[in-house]
Chain A
Amino acid sequence: MKSYLSSEYVVHRDHERCIRCKVCVNQCTYETHYYDPEDDKVYSRDINCTNCQRCVVFCPTNAITITKNPNAYKENENWTQEAIVSIKKQAETGGVILTGMGCDKPHFTFWDRLVLNASQVTNPSIDPLREPMEIRTYLGSKPDRLELKNSDGDVLLMTELAPQLCLETPIMFSALSYGAVSLNVHESLARAATEFGTFFNTGEGGLDPRLYKYGDHTIVQVASGRFGVHPQYLDVGAAIEIKIGQGAKPGIGGHLPGEKVTEDISQTRMIPIGTDALSPAPQHDIYSIEDLRQLIYALKEATDYSKPISVKIAAVHNVAAIASGMVRAGADIIALDGVRGATGAAPRVIRDNVGIPIEFAIASVDQRLREEGIRNRASIVAAGGFRSSADVVKAIALGADAVYIATAALVAIGCTVCQKCYIGKCPWGIATTDPWISKRINPKIASKRLVNLLQAWSSEIKEMMGGMGINAIESLRGNRLHLRGVGLTEAECRILGVKMAGE
């Protein structure tokens, strides 16, 4: 069948500048560039290009420019380029349109419509370079009150706190499964989390034993496919996360294609080499809240109540009521993944249309748990498209204890959000298990880049807190008076629990 589709991008090469070094040929895993010995020139097959910018960055003479293909259908606000291209693609293949990363539409981002406060006159702002500024965060269940006893003038603390995770910054690395990403990526995340004093999440593909030494800074995930779940795995993590859902694809499971299941992956995931790893849509032992309680306590029993149990859900319509049930079922941490949450692969219609923005999920869950008087019984971790430290500060002011970042972490180590992770040949060496390509991530360098990112965001968080006259993050958490809405409707303000700017 003749394809009616044209290339999305056009590769321009300045042949004057090109020195025929073939770096682009070697770097592009999609075989976009090729060398023609007869002409002694490098050419490109535009149709293969994903605009990942790998060749642009590595071309030693800056000879390459990539632009959007100027050939476009007649402009139409309704029948967009994306809509027409998708239909043509489906007419030619009969398939579901896959995509990677998080929703790329603008209409779900409410962070940009919230502004932060700063102290003027009545209250001194604080300079974090000169004064203490504390952002340490503890995740886990807290009691309603403490019992103390007085004995001979000494105060004795009778209450023992449930296990907690100690974060030196309220940012953790979100779940990226082994298999979706390579060992090198996992190692980079693990090393950075350990060095900075935070946590990385294994995702649902288990943990390679070579990374067990980073266990104190690892959250091990238990998902519907149960890949790589065994007693040692549960023991090695600092916390366990039950994955119910993911913001990019609420209600559906995962699919790791067999080509990505190499020997190491097969060992860790405990499945044969080359077989597809299919995570069922639901956890088949959890069809109700009572079942969730059983799994939470099964995991607590299995680990002797030594670590907090997190439950991660996609933020959906009824998220507040569901979260309340999760807390009552014994979850120590509630992880909420909003509609902009990313993925290695998901049907685009699901990614862009299912779930609610994380801003509303944080606000309504925090408020609901407070109304029920159980907010202290679980920490809230928010995930799904955090782009900057300002987003993080706003999330915490709305009521989150900490956030998960994944896309931002990957961007730090090379990702350009080209949205082609599902192909498995990521030219940046991230969303791939191909041993040749994944060597492009050097854990030593990549972990340094990640630590730098955490450092930079933490400094910015401190600056913003200092501006508000706050020197401990617990005074920012849930403190919605430091937020104001701009361009929000009254209903949006009410649900977010914020006033309008000027009020």
Chain B
Amino acid sequence: MDGITKLNCRYGDDKDFAGCSIFGMMNLQGKCFSSEDPVKAISNMHERGNGLGGGFAVYGLYPEHIDDYAFHIMYLSREAKKKTDKLLNESFEVLEDEELPTKEANVLDPPKVWRYFVQPNIRKLKNKSADDYVLEKVMRINTETGKAFVFSSGKNMGVFKGVGFPEDIAEFFCLDEYKGYIWVCHGRFPTNTPGWWGGAHPFNILDWTVVHNGELSSYGINRRYLEMYGYKCTMQTDTEVLAYAFDLLMRRQKLPINIVSKVLAPPLWEEIANIESEQARILRTLRQTYGSLLMNGPFSVVVAHHGEMIGLTDRLKLRPLSAGTRGDYLYLSSEESAIRLVSPILDKSWNPRGGEPVVGRLKTSKVVEVPAK
């Protein structure tokens, strides 16, 4: 490691070798663990970010409020909070609300972030499911209040994110005080969209979160397709559509992950032609029906919801993803080095193929690895 600090560029070290970094860590038995390992791992990929975004999603976060929706909401103006509070009080029974505890850290212009525990107002629910009701209200807060954005809206989980390196964000939000059985982490190098607090990853809707490395060339149509189903994209970044796509396909339409992965990263027509007939019919029908949700362009993602953590890349694997298991732990990471840092010895370590999901499920110590053809 000698010479690692040596600068070759005599005009100052401004070189940037970067791309986003993603990291996911799950205890398959549901045992909650601290932020120590996840923060250490994502910080190890410091070079992949540029300090314009970092964030964490933590599952198993609020066991004392296990049945309440936990909202983390960011406010860019007082007016926005007033409007949002009004909307929340009209639509929900607000059980608790407080500002998220923070401390001094190297972050840029932090906004106010509030935490609410709420229950849907039963009288207004009518025949909607509670989840759909919450979804609709989240879309309203994001679009109607001007400067309020919902970071997360699931139960017993929460998203902490902002502008800064992930380790700084972790410090700012005092993450050392929290525990969870899934940690999903992100370090950002924003490309097409500005570095702002709402645009940091993870993206969340209900208990679905996504962290993403890459750029979706298909964003324009992904977004327009999801708009048909009531999702409104407000975060000025392509990753948002992934969270909504998972919510639509897995929660609302109840498709299993091995099918959803074939929607987001479908096999080529040529490959479908070589598969036995019934399987080919399914794959063909999926592409015909959900073609607008094909995620085109380079991506690797870690997606989580209660009970599951999923890693997936685009079908050509234009972005990295590495996986490893040790005991009850599943690790997913942009770089294997980050996994090895927190768990030098692994039972198994591999690089999933393009378009093939890795799925960790709670209470099944077996990691589902869709086999390569």
Chain A positions near chain B (C-beta within 8 angstroms): 119, 121-124, 131-132, 134, 136, 138, 142-143, 145-146, 148, 150, 155, 157, 159, 161, 164, 370, 373, 375-376, 468-472, 474-482
Contact = CB atoms under 8 A, between A and B. Distances in A.
A478 B292 contact: yes
Interface in B254-311: 255-256, 258-259, 266, 268-270, 278, 281-282, 285-292, 294, 296-298
Contact of B218 (A132, A155, A376, A475): A475
Contacts, number: 107
Nearest to A133: B268
B191 A469 contact: no
B224 interface: yes
Interface residues of B, number: 40
A477 B219 CA distance: 11
A349 B297 CA distance: 47
A123 B298 contact: yes
B270 A482 contact: no
Interface of B: 191-192, 214-215, 217-221, 224-225, 227-229, 253, 255-256, 258-259, 266, 268-270, 278, 281-282, 285-292, 294, 296-298, 316, 318
B273 to A, nearest CB: 10
A477 B215 contact: no
Contacts of A471: 296, 316
Given A146-B285, A157-B285, A480 B220 contact: yes
Contacts of A122: 191-192, 215
B285 A159 contact: yes
Given A470-B218, A471-B316, A475-B297, 11 more contacts: A131-B316, A134-B268, A134-B269, A143-B289, A145-B289, A157-B282, A370-B228, A472-B294, A475-B291, A478-B292, A479-B219
Nearest to A137: B291
Contacts of B285: 146, 157, 159, 161
B296 A155 contact: no
A142 B268 contact: no
Contact of B217 (A136, A142, A468): A468
Contacts of B287: 474
Nearest to B287: A474
Which of A468, A478, A480 has the largest count of B CB atoms less than 10 A from its CB? A478
B235 to A, nearest CB: 15
Contacts of A161: 285, 288-289
B317 to A, nearest CB: 12
A131 B298 CA distance: 14
Nearest to A483: B220
A285 B157 CA distance: 61
A474 B291 contact: yes
B258 A481 contact: no
A150 B215 CA distance: 33
B228 A474 contact: no
Contacts of A470: 217-218, 296-297
A132 B288 contact: no
Contacts of B227: 370
Given A161-B289, A478-B292, A148 B228 contact: no
Contact of B286 (A134, A146, A478): A146
